Amino acid sequence: MNDVLATTLVGVFGITGSLIVLCSALAMFKVRDALSRINVFSPATGLGMPLIVVAAYVWTLDDRGFDWTSLFIAILAVLCLIIVSSVASNTLSRSSVLSGQPIHRKTAPNRLATPPAGVVDEDPDAAPETGD
Amino acid sequence: MSIVIAICIVILAVAIVVGLVRVLTAKDMGSRAVVGDLVYFSAIGMLTFIGMHVSSSIVLDGIFLSSMVGILATIALSRILTRGYR
């Protein structure tokens, strides 16, 4: 591969991915609670890190030439980043809610605190009513 | 190529510093856990670029393995948050 083309592609993908990670780090100052921080962290793992993987693959392509193993590992790394980070974010947000982390007071509608209108919220552990 | 790699490393280092400042100013444990995740992924990116800088042959293997085991740190942090309950 042409050296200038490889440098340009590594620059575009690498710098864009790094900037996305930096932007999601800066966005953690804008939002106010843990759930929103988990939410704004998703672009870093779902888009920023895969772009860095693409930059690394382009660099490998320029350095060592085409290789099916490298392509397979790069595709697997992107899939792993997307799938694994989604599951990890889900687990972290679930445990964050379960452990009672505070949610910003202006969160509306907050379906976890109040059920939507029209839904009858029955207590499943309540003793059954005895009819006459 | 080395200038591009240096720019990427500096951007990721700034992201880590911003995240650590957020850890210092955050009040709740959930925010600290997610910032720990951010520092982990930024460090993976920095290691990748450092590997490209020194012409290492395991750049792709490193980022692939660390992205696969990245879930372990997050799940450990979430178990700590809930005090061991699922």
Q: Does some domain include residue B62? A: yes
Q: Does some domain include residue B52? A: yes
CB A20 within 8 A of CB A48: yes
Q: Does some domain include residue B86? A: no
Min Cα distance A89 → chain B (Å) is 8
Sorting pLDDT into bands at 50, 70 and 90, what band is A104?
A: confident
Chain A CB contacts of B68 below 8 Å: 80, 84
Tally of domains within chain B: 1
**What residues of chain A, 15 to 74, have a C-beta less than 8 Å from chain B?**
15, 17-19, 21-22, 24-26, 28-29, 33-35, 37-38, 41, 44-45, 48-49, 52-53, 55-57, 59-60, 63-64, 70, 73-74
ipTM given for this complex: 0.90
Kindly report the three-state secondary structure assignment for every residue of chain A: CCHHHHHHHHHHHHHHHHHHHHHHHHHHHHCCCHHHHHHHHHHHHHHHHHHHHHHHHHHHHHHHCCCHHHHHHHHHHHHHHHHHHHHHHHHHHHHHHHCCCCCCCCCCCCCCCCCCCCCCCCCCCCCCCCCC
pLDDT at A74: 92
Weakest-pLDDT range from A3-12, A57-66, A83-92, A117-126: A117-126
Is the pLDDT assigned to residue A129 strictly greater than 80? Answer: no
- Quote the domain boundaries for residue B37: 2-81
Please tell me the distance from the alpha carbon of residue B22 to that of residue B16, in angstroms, as a whole number: 10
Q: Does some domain include residue B15? A: yes
Please tell me the distance from the alpha carbon of residue B9 to that of residue B66, in angstroms, as a whole number: 18
CB contact under 8 A, B45 and A84: no
